[in-house]
Amino acid sequence: MTNHMEHTAGAITPADFINRFGRRVLTDSGSPGMDGREGVGSTTELMLASFASLLIDVGDRLDTSQYEELLRWIEMCRARGPYGSPSSKR
């Protein structure tokens, strides 16, 4: 995994990725890990943290259109997933 700390001032940092329970999902280096501890978390927590880690890696290289595509794909998967429509509550 690359060193995520090479971003410029004002950029998104690993500490910015907080889940709905207020827990960090990435370590300081940007690796997946609950509460900032590498490798800690359930399978699902680590999968979500891996996605956050990917965003740290590529986020500053994506343009607005590419972010819109990512959002569209996420909504598509959510709508077709086991919980039904995007308005369904989990």
Q: What is the pLDDT at residue 1?
A: 41
89: DSSP letter:
-
Residue 74 within any structural domain of the chain: yes
Residue 87 within any structural domain of the chain: no
Q: What is the pLDDT at residue 87?
A: 54
Residue 14 and residue 30 in contact, taking contact as beta carbons nearer than 8 Å: yes
Number of domains present in the structure of the chain: 1
Q: What is the pLDDT at residue 17?
A: 95
Helix (H/G/I), strand (E/B), else coil: 22: coil
Q: What is the pLDDT at residue 3?
A: 46
Cα 43 to chain centroid, rounded: 14
Residue 88 within any structural domain of the chain: no
> Which residue in 69, 25, 67, 68 sits closest to 13, CA to CA?
25
Q: What is the pLDDT at residue 75?
A: 93
Residue 10's domain comprises 4-80
Residue 10 within any structural domain of the chain: yes
Residue 86 within any structural domain of the chain: no
23-60 pLDDT per residue, tens: 999 999 999 999 999 999 999 999 999 999 998 888 78
Residue 56 within any structural domain of the chain: yes
Residue 89 within any structural domain of the chain: no
Residue 45 within any structural domain of the chain: yes
